[in-house]
Structure 1
Amino acid sequence: MGKAQTLALAPGLELPLAVVTEKLAILAQSGAGKSYTGMRLGELMLAADAQVIAVDAVGIWWSLRSSADGKRGGLPIVIFGGQHADVPLPPRGGKAIAQLLASRRVSAVLDVSELTDEELVAFLADFAEAFFHAKKRHRSPVHLFLEEAQLIIPEVPESKGAVRMRAQWIRLMRLGRNFGVGWTVISQQPQDTSKRGLNQAGTVFAMRTVGAHEKKAIAGWVSSKVHRQDALALLDKLPTMETGEAHVWSPSFLKVSKAVRISRRVTFDSSDTPAMDAAAREPRTLAPVEMAGIRTALQEMVSEAENSDPAILRARVAALQQQLAQRPVPAEARVEVPVLSVKERAALEKLVGRASVDLEATRTKLDGLCAAVEQLAGRLRPLPHPVAQVHAQGPRPGRASPPAAPVPQGAGRLPKGARDMLVALAGTLLPALTRNQVATLSGLKVTGGTFNKYLSLLRTSGFIQEAAQGLALTDRGLAEVGGRPPVPQTTEGIVAVWNERLPAGARAMLAELVRAHPRGLGRDALAERVNIEASGGTFAKYLSLLRSNGLLESASGELRASATLFPGVAQG
């Protein structure tokens, strides 16, 4: 079957393949179908063998990989980051991923929904800058989708890093078409989206919009592009439009101004708001993707980028020097050190610096190897149950305990991060913790090479074992940290432990859920209590953080604090 020559986005609206390099905007309030429309357009482009890259600040575009009913595979698009990642998204990997996607013409979802605000800004700034330059060398059609674009190209940046991020994306959006780059801005807050970026769009899909500021932003675009009074009058119809209905203004590209109803998607609809009376749906099958070479190439690029970053190298050398300075020296080993000349000291520091760089380069490669091994191991066994389902069970049947080895003597043998992981496992009422929980409580990233390196070290040292519920301390591991500390027996004590590691927004959400227990809260009610936009990427990120750490349960369309936060309380 030949590839489609046009993209049937809606009955009566056939888009030419040239839309891949065009500049579009989809603007609507939450729940009107803007993300659905964007993903339907992405489906059509992928089916036409176009390269598609979705920058997803919400965590919903992964659903392109599953069929509409969730029972079969969908479209082959690689997922970087998020809950359904094929490859972890390294916060400092923006440049490497951009070069990889530009040079290999890989379609991808960049799920940045679980990055912190600081990590998101740095990653997206690096990605946009590197992708712009890489496309000069690899000219080919590609379409970028910017989900919740007001977070990527804000009208008023809130930090110095956000200023750089916006500047890099605006340049890519303005000049990238020369090298084959088209894009679609998707936003429920066009008034908070950079006008310099939004005004570049030549076609706008306006869907149901009620807010005065949002309508004014759309009217500003229409009045600057369309000068007929009847076109402006159509703005009055926006508040009453049905879900999935869009008015298309395209004065130059399509030369149309008409209302259409977006056609049905062929992949799973993860953007659909859960209903109160419907069971949660999760697709059971994701389409396979060809990953040969992608992980290796990405790891090499990330390592190369980090090893050439002066800021990172300076920080590493300073950390090593601090460790050396803090290392105790036995009294009998103390000797008088002759005073070096300025020239001799400079030469010595130069040698130490080179050695430090070589050491860290080797360590980075080992981290990547450990991460790859751990990721492969995770794919070959079921994921741990959520914390809400943890019950006292023995170690996984068929998995032998680690062979006996000499117990390390002294608390200084383990790296601080590895010891923090042991302390996290010891200081809980639960018999085991999931990997997410251990990482969060020890201040590490579960997708990072450091976490996986420490996990491998603790397992091979016989300090932890893999149980059916997750990770559990062995007797040897318990002895290593001096036994269990006083474990909080109250809800307040348990929440206080988590609050030491959760960001402020997530802490506020957890406090409201605990306060409402045993009742639950709807998404909108919770968002209102913590003053965070329910449909925004920040709210989704914090919700995902609480859920992945077993602090949150969902039932009948409501969010509830996990039963594990209430020791001794009978659950009905």
Structure 2
Amino acid sequence: MTVLQDAARLAMFLDRPAAIVGTTGAGKSFAAKGAVEHLLSLGRRVIIIDPTGAWYGLRAGADGSPSGGFPVLIFGGYHADVRLEPTAEAGKALALALAERDVQAIIDTSEMTGGEKNRFLTPFLENLYAKNKAALHLIVDEADEVAAQNLADGEQRLFGAFDKIVRRGRIKGFRPLMISQRPAVIHKNVLSQIGTLIALKLTSPQDRKAVNEWVKGNADADQARAVMTSLPTLQRGEGWVWSPADDVLERVMFPPIRTFDSSRTPQIGEVLTAPALAAVDVKALREAMIISSSKNEGAKSARATANVDIDAAEKRAYDNGYKDGYFAARNALTKMFADRVSAVAEDIRSNGGGKPSDIAVPITIRAPNTPAPFSAEKKPVVVAGLEPVANFPRTVPAADLPPSLQKALDSVAWWRSIGFDEVARNRAAITAGLSPTASTFGVYVSKLVERGLLEVSTPGHIRLTDAGVAQSVIPASLDVHTSARALLEPQPARVFDLVIGVHPEPISRGDLADLMGLSRSASTLGVYLAKVSRLGFIQTLPGSLVKAADFLFSGGKIG
């Protein structure tokens, strides 16, 4: 076995379509990130489609400091430099902005639902293919999300766009790299096109069979025997690099990555420290997003059309659905408050019993179409001679609370408003629009606990503190079933509707197939059920029965 000293040797095989496959925990993220680090260090053009929200670690060193990170632009997600609207217009505009520029970027879709990803990525890939003309490494994590073997309704166009890049993209400069823990569910049309296969530990017979199918069409079957028999027993970080065109078949141990390990699973009770990300060139970021009006529907400016204008995106990153004009009001109030309160602070103290709400401060709110300028400094205003007031009620979110955390907090507040003083984390995650099985909501909870806005009441349950009650804004309307359904693609959503429709009774897989007009013997229903089950929304019972999870129902057990 060869121990790679660095990822340079691995990166050399990525000038043709490639795939990195391996089960969860096998080390495929290390292998992929190590190779991408080398590409970035060489100054290559790299775009990473990241549905996991874990690639932001490229912006920090291994110790979490900015030193050692790469100035990769992050579009979308919790760590975004530029927020993205999950729309077709935004997908097209971003592709046009990046296609002809020397750029290294992460497109983080982890906060988008399945339908939103479809709407955004389809025009993004179509327009990227149409306009790109220079060498570009396109890294697609969880590649089965854009190239599933069994396509649900509405996914065909997205698959077609990616398939075209893999099959025909070389002449336009594309070097695609697909990453997946389930090669069996990647569409065979794209898997058959790869020239380099990097295989780490695979335990599922179906996944090993998919690798074997690739071998039959691309490599020597005699060589395959050693590979296939070893796949279930490979150690973490160990795998095979197989590039038939280069006459390379090596069993290697991949080196540690040099940047922050943002995909590491936290231990029980551990709260991972967020890294300090390397700075990006804001000027270059603005220039990258400028699209000439001649290229984008005549007289309309690219920023107005694209929904990815920097100022608007930065504003959306902090208001994200709250009342129009809030920031304008806050900025105006802050200025007037700072100007006037110092002058009357002594009078307030001398009156005894006076309180900040006694100060009459006229507020002029700008029109919604003239937003207040974004300020990167989100520090609270401190006025000399006046102590902050504890638990002073808020009617709008605090300026220093990012919208993702505010949305998580408001989700808990909604459960409290309907009678649940404490709520199971998985239920609160759903009404926050997040997967109940992913780690994202847990990260948000940890940050809110650190800020004193939430507390862990009993294992797996959370509730608002007094400060959290004051900070939260109860959403006008929420429904746990609607929120859960929004996380699913169209066909799995139909399964969801049918299963919750008979709750608390179970339903057989055969009856489900009949109701959906599917063959009882085909695997299609199993694919849909797996997507619903992965989010914890259904339980599998003996006798080929499935049942909606009790936690989806307010009358059922919480948790």
**How do 1:395-414 and structure 2 match up within 5 A?**
399=338, 404-405=362-363
2:58 aligned partner, one-letter code: L
Which of these residues, 249, 272, 275, is aligned with residue 280 of structure 1? 272
Encode CA deviations 1:510-568: one digit per residue, 9 max, x unaligned. 28999xxxxxxxxxxx98xx6xxx5xxxx35666787788899798xx86524449989
For residue 219 of structure 1, report the CA deviation from its aligned partner: 2.1
1:180 aligned partner, one-letter code: G
Structure 2 SS opposite 1:104? coil
Encode CA deviations 1:117-147: one digit per residue, 9 max, x unaligned. 2221121111111111112xx3x22211111
Q: 2:97: which partner in 1?
A: 100
Which of these residues, 65, 80, 89, is aligned with residue 85 of structure 1? 80
Structure 2 SS opposite 1:82? coil
Indicate yes or no: 2:16 matched with 1:75: no
Distance in 1, Cα, partners of 2:269 & 2:42: 38
Instruction: Determine if contact 1:57/1:111 at 8 Å carries over to the other structure.
Output: yes
Encode CA deviations 1:412-469: one digit per residue, 9 max, x unaligned. x999xxxxxxxxxxxx9867535798968999xx9xxxxxxxxxxxxxxxxxxxxxx9
1:108 aligned partner, one-letter code: A
Q: 2:254: which partner in 1?
A: 262
2:101 aligned partner, one-letter code: R
Q: 2:164: which partner in 1?
A: 171
Instruction: Determine if contact 1:513/1:561 at 8 Å carries over to the other structure.
Output: no
2:82 aligned partner, one-letter code: V
Instruction: Determine if contact 1:96/1:302 at 8 Å carries over to the other structure.
Output: no
Distance in 2, Cα, partners of 1:442 & 1:77: 26
2:362 aligned partner, one-letter code: A
Indicate yes or no: 2:198 matched with 1:205: yes
Distance in 2, Cα, partners of 1:222 & 1:552: 54
**How do 1:52-63 and structure 2 match up within 5 A?**
52-63=46-57
Instruction: Determine if contact 2:7/2:38 at 8 Å carries over to the other structure.
Output: no
In structure 2, relative to structure 1, the CA distance for the partners of 1:559 and 1:130 (3 Å cut) is farther
In structure 2, relative to structure 1, the CA distance for the partners of 1:191 and 1:437 (3 Å cut) is farther
2:46 aligned partner, one-letter code: V
For residue 20 of structure 1, report the CA deviation from its aligned partner: 4.5
In structure 2, relative to structure 1, the CA distance for the partners of 1:223 and 1:189 (3 Å cut) is same
Q: Unaligned 5+ residue runs, structure 2?
A: 320-332, 341-359, 370-391, 471-559
Distance in 2, Cα, partners of 1:87 & 1:108: 11
For residue 507 of structure 1, report the CA deviation from its aligned partner: 9.2
For residue 293 of structure 1, report the CA deviation from its aligned partner: 4.7
Distance in 1, Cα, partners of 2:56 & 2:302: 33
Identity %: 27
Which of these residues, 451, 457, 462, is aligned with residue 561 of structure 1? 462
Which of these residues, 205, 211, 218, is aligned with residue 218 of structure 1? 211
Encode CA deviations 1:24-64: one digit per residue, 9 max, x unaligned. 11101111111121111000111111111110000011110
2:462 aligned partner, one-letter code: A
For residue 176 of structure 1, report the CA deviation from its aligned partner: 1.0
Distance in 1, Cα, partners of 2:177 & 2:413: 50
Instruction: Determine if contact 2:336/2:361 at 8 Å carries over to the other structure.
Output: no
Distance in 2, Cα, partners of 1:302 & 1:90: 20
Distance in 2, Cα, partners of 1:87 & 1:15: 33
Instruction: Determine if contact 2:70/2:278 at 8 Å carries over to the other structure.
Output: yes
Q: 2:418: which partner in 1?
A: 493
Which of these residues, 102, 113, 116, is aligned with residue 116 of structure 1? 113
Structure 1 SS opposite 2:194? coil
Instruction: Determine if contact 1:65/1:287 at 8 Å carries over to the other structure.
Output: yes
Instruction: Determine if contact 1:11/1:263 at 8 Å carries over to the other structure.
Output: yes
Instruction: Determine if contact 1:70/1:282 at 8 Å carries over to the other structure.
Output: yes
Distance in 2, Cα, partners of 1:489 & 1:223: 55
For residue 258 of structure 1, report the CA deviation from its aligned partner: 2.1
Distance in 2, Cα, partners of 1:242 & 1:223: 25
Instruction: Determine if contact 1:222/1:232 at 8 Å carries over to the other structure.
Output: no
Indicate yes or no: 2:179 matched with 1:186: yes
Instruction: Determine if contact 1:552/1:559 at 8 Å carries over to the other structure.
Output: no
In structure 2, relative to structure 1, the CA distance for the partners of 1:288 and 1:217 (3 Å cut) is same
Instruction: Determine if contact 1:52/1:143 at 8 Å carries over to the other structure.
Output: yes
Distance in 1, Cα, partners of 2:441 & 2:17: 31
Structure 1 SS opposite 2:212? helix
In structure 2, relative to structure 1, the CA distance for the partners of 1:201 and 1:374 (3 Å cut) is same
Q: 1:517: which partner in 2?
A: none
2:99 aligned partner, one-letter code: A
For residue 361 of structure 1, report the CA deviation from its aligned partner: 9.9
For residue 290 of structure 1, report the CA deviation from its aligned partner: 2.0
In structure 2, relative to structure 1, the CA distance for the partners of 1:495 and 1:55 (3 Å cut) is farther
Indicate yes or no: 2:157 matched with 1:157: no
TM-score, scaled to structure 1:
0.59
Indicate yes or no: 2:172 matched with 1:231: no
Structure 2 SS opposite 1:15? helix
In structure 2, relative to structure 1, the CA distance for the partners of 1:439 and 1:47 (3 Å cut) is closer
For residue 150 of structure 1, report the CA deviation from its aligned partner: 0.8
1:491 aligned partner, one-letter code: R
Q: 1:125: which partner in 2?
A: 122
**How do 1:371-520 and structure 2 match up within 5 A?**
371=312, 374=315, 399=338, 404-405=362-363, 433-434=397-398, 491=416, 493=418, 509-510=427-428
Distance in 2, Cα, partners of 1:213 & 1:494: 46
Which of these residues, 21, 24, 30, is aligned with residue 18 of structure 2? 24
1:280 aligned partner, one-letter code: L
Distance in 1, Cα, partners of 2:78 & 2:116: 17
Distance in 1, Cα, partners of 2:97 & 2:317: 21
Encode CA deviations 1:167-199: one digit per residue, 9 max, x unaligned. 001101111111221011100111111111111
Work out the number of aligned pairs and report it: 407
In structure 2, relative to structure 1, the CA distance for the partners of 1:167 and 1:436 (3 Å cut) is farther
Instruction: Determine if contact 1:204/1:249 at 8 Å carries over to the other structure.
Output: yes
Structure 1 SS opposite 2:189? helix
Encode CA deviations 1:488-523: one digit per residue, 9 max, x unaligned. 898361669x99xxxxxx996428999xxxxxxxxx
1:291 aligned partner, one-letter code: V
Instruction: Determine if contact 2:78/2:404 at 8 Å carries over to the other structure.
Output: no
Q: Unaligned 5+ residue runs, structure 1?
A: 1-7, 309-356, 379-393, 416-427, 447-468, 471-486, 500-505, 515-525
Instruction: Determine if contact 1:113/1:540 at 8 Å carries over to the other structure.
Output: no
Instruction: Determine if contact 1:31/1:273 at 8 Å carries over to the other structure.
Output: no
Q: 1:240: which partner in 2?
A: 233
Distance in 2, Cα, partners of 1:440 & 1:14: 37
Q: 1:146: which partner in 2?
A: 140
For residue 151 of structure 1, report the CA deviation from its aligned partner: 0.8
Q: 1:449: which partner in 2?
A: none
Distance in 2, Cα, partners of 1:183 & 1:9: 25
For residue 301 of structure 1, report the CA deviation from its aligned partner: 6.4
TM-score, scaled to structure 2:
0.60
In structure 2, relative to structure 1, the CA distance for the partners of 1:53 and 1:407 (3 Å cut) is closer
1:510 aligned partner, one-letter code: A
Q: 2:495: which partner in 1?
A: none
Instruction: Determine if contact 2:118/2:158 at 8 Å carries over to the other structure.
Output: yes
Structure 1 SS opposite 2:147? coil
Q: 1:292: which partner in 2?
A: 283
